[in-house]
Amino acid sequence: MRLLLLSDLHAQSKKDPGGQDAKLLCDDFRADVNANPLLSLIESAKSSEEFSCDYIVCAGDMTNRASPDGVRFVWEKLHDLKNTTGAKDVFATVGNHDVSSRPPEKNDAAAIAEHQDTFPRENLMRLAPRFPSASEEKSDKYWSHGYYLERLNGFSVNVLIINSCWLHENHTDLYRGSITSYTLEKIRHDLSALSAEDNIGLTILHHHPHQHSELSLGSDDVMRNGQKLIDLLNENGEWLIIHGHKHHPKFVKAAGQIGMPFVMACGSFSGQIGGANASVSRNFLHRISIDVAKGLKGVVETWAWLDGLGWKKEGTADNKFPKSFGFGFDGDLRALARSIETDIGGQPAKKWIELQKTFPETRYLLPDEIRLLRRHLERLGLQFSGGDNSALAPYEVGRKMK
Ligand SMILES: [Fe+2]
């Protein structure tokens, strides 16, 4: 199952406050399609299989400051992207920017009058097809209870869409996400009805459910009751949580004693990236491929936006977030190193691509696991060669020269 992830698009119209600074304009029809990240992706998907996927995922902040034009544009284009990539559906949720507008300048009477009768949540509820699900029942549940749960029978995967901005009518909650005990109780009830074998799940929400404060990204905005959500999911199968908001890609396991969900923080597709993060992150598009027949195991690929050139795989965030890496390896790295050493035997070296045929689980190694495997192999007198990034798989593994 392949998921194409677009988060934090922050689309605006040129006429919106601050619209001139937006990276994704909904009324930008320059001849060069590679000046618009979303239109460029749709064009590329028309002529190439590179971005093919089963589902489009949007983890919120479709727009900036609740621009009605921005939100309509992104929702329409996500469906165009669904059609061009051959995806079956779009899974989306709201971000703080989709539900909270800022008042216009005090001296702009016309804008103030318009603002008084503009409600971001109503703009979202009026979208066609319905947001976040074309199913009336699921969208109604999302708006009334803060979530909906869907079973993807073709893949035997559960998808839980959470509105982490459910309390954003409350101004003090504008800067952090939340999930209330009411919604947690409802989700617990729904999960308890699932069969024990159907235990792979995706949760999609905007805010980070656990701390994500490196690069001075701030620590006060962590989702209220986020750990309770993580613990609840952990009691009910294997989960991958996908969120946006930070504009800084990160892939980790949530903290806990056993099991624990993977948590994927998406980079921003076309939003501004500020502070120390600007020297690390760019605008990113991700695809997660899950080999569901084997459990929650798969590969994360990342493309970076190069203005004027389009989406390219060369750009990576840093060596913790390479352009491609796996997740879900559940073996013993020391034992794997010993098996590789035995397999190489008396040969001077063996290509990684050949080793992967013998040891297919190496496809699911996280960047830190690749680093650790490398250290175990070095202790056995082997070394990585090729690859300029310590977190990436090598070109080959060979005997150290004596
Ligand atoms: Fe954002």
Distance in Å, CA 23 to ligand 1 centroid: 12
Handedness of CA 327, 333, 338, 339 (dihedral sign): negative
Distance in Å, CA 117 to ligand 1 centroid: 25
Distance in Å, CA 59 to ligand 1 centroid: 9
pLDDT digits (tens, 9 = 90+) for 252-296: 999 989 999 999 999 999 999 988 988 888 999 999 999 999 999
Instruction: Please compute, for residue 372, the number of CA atoms within 13 A of its CA located in the half-sphere on the CB side.
Output: 13
Residues 6+ away with beta carbon under 8 Å from 363: 297, 299, 326, 356
Distance in Å, CA 18 to ligand 1 centroid: 15
Name the nearest CA neighbour of 48 among 1, 84, 83: 84
Distance in Å, CA 90 to ligand 1 centroid: 19
pTM of the model: 0.94
Q: How far apart are CA 284 and CA 262, in angstroms?
A: 19
pLDDT bucket at 238, cuts 50 / 70 / 90: very high
170 residue type, one letter? N
pLDDT digits (tens, 9 = 90+) for 13-40: 988 887 877 899 998 777 678 889 999 9
Q: At how many degrees (to 10) do helices 367-379 and 333-344 cross?
A: 50
Contact of 20 with 10, CB cutoff 8 Å: no
Q: What is the pLDDT of residue 162?
A: 98
Distance in Å, CA 41 to ligand 1 centroid: 19
Distance in Å, CA 123 to ligand 1 centroid: 18
Q: What is the pLDDT of residue 170?
A: 60
Q: How far apart are CA 56 and CA 145, in angstroms?
A: 23
Mean pLDDT (the chain, rounded): 90
Residue 54: other Cβ atoms inside 10 A: 19
